[in-house]
A and B are shown apart, each in its own frame.
Chain A
Amino acid sequence: GQSLEQPSEVTAVEGAIVQINCTYQTSGFYGLSWYQQHDGGAPTFLSYNALDGLEETGRFSSFLSRSDSYGYLLLQELQMKDSASYFCAVRDPSDNFNKFYFGSGTKLNVKP
């Protein structure tokens, strides 16, 4: 089966840095993705890690350690608009469909 664990909620202030962790147990693994979802909206893609290490995209960075089945999303210079839910997702190549399984989501509250 598939299991992805994330903290349920994180609170931080504007301008701060926050890290959202994700640990996973899946039958197959092809990479870890991160998605942002605002209330009532659809998820939007943030980043993807297939190999160990850090990927940086502007204020967002994502890290992966395949040996530890662990990754995190790092958000820097937090802005109010970053208040949203963040989901990690594993791409599972089993049965050739490359399905994505999502974590439980972390609600980020950014305060002034």
Chain B
Amino acid sequence: GAVVSQHPSWVICKSGTSVKIECRSLDFQATTMFWYRQFPKQSLMLMATSNEGSKATYEQGVEKDKFLINHASLTLSTLTVTSAHPEDSSFYICSARTGRNNEQFFGPGTRLTVL
């Protein structure tokens, strides 16, 4: 089946630093990847849509200069949280769509804690 990995699975950083999260599709090519953020006991909020070779499309209210997304290849998308602050602490999940059907495959998530 389709497998999506994320790295790191958790990260703790100091306020003001930047953190990069990688999302990889391991056994398929993903033309489109999605980045979500999930606060405790809340739903997944779509942050941005990432297409290989083009600029990401951000949802309303998501700062594109703070959450930098790069989709350099068909198997890798990265999310960089720049100048992280405690309010950015959350569970960040990526997903990838194969394009063949209506299913999206989720990565295991990255728990970010900003001190």
A-to-B contact residues, CB < 8 Å: 30-31, 33, 41-45, 48, 50, 87, 91, 95, 97-105
Contact = CB atoms under 8 A, between A and B. Distances in A.
Given A42-B108, A43-B93, A98-B97, A91 B46 contact: no
Interface residues of B, number: 22
Contacts of B34: 99-100
B57 A103 contact: no
A50 B101 CA distance: 11
Interface of B: 32, 34, 36, 42-46, 49, 51, 57, 93, 95, 97, 102-109
B102 A31 contact: yes
A87 B43 CA distance: 8
Contact of A102 (B43, B105, B107): B43
A50 B43 CA distance: 22
Contact of A48 (B44, B51, B102, B109): B102
A42 B102 contact: no
Contacts of B49: 97, 99
Interface centre among A33, A99, A101 (most CB of B within 10 A): A99
B107 A42 contact: yes
A45 B104 contact: yes
A42 B49 CA distance: 18
Contact of A42 (B32, B45, B93, B103): B93
Given A87-B43, A99-B46, A100-B104, 14 more contacts: A33-B102, A43-B44, A44-B106, A45-B105, A87-B44, A91-B102, A97-B49, A97-B51, A97-B57, A100-B46, A100-B95, A102-B43, A102-B46, A105-B43
A91 B46 CA distance: 12
